[in-house]
Amino acid sequence: MKVFYRGEQVILAWDSLSAHWSRAMRAWVADQDWLTLERLPPMLPS
């Protein structure tokens, strides 16, 4: 994504999968100034 969206700000909506929010992933995301994560709720209303 970083190469494809070079020079752009990216907002990524992620589900609540535990792997997405691991310490390692949160640390990596914190270093990516071009990437913003939005966490989706565990269950979306019908």
User: Could you read off the pLDDT of 1-46 as tens digits, one per residue?
Assistant: 788 888 999 999 888 787 778 899 889 989 999 999 888 887 766 6
Q: Which residues contact 7 (CB under 8 A, 6 or more apart)?
A: none
Question: Three-class SS of residue 21?
Answer: helix
| Residue 40 DSSP class | P
Amino acid at 29: V
What does DSSP say about strands 35-39 and 10-14: parallel, antiparallel, or unpaired?
parallel
Beta partners for residue 39, in sequence order: 14
Q: What is the pTM of this model?
A: 0.63
Residue 25 Cα distances to 18, 30, 44, 45, 46, angstroms: 10, 9, 24, 27, 30
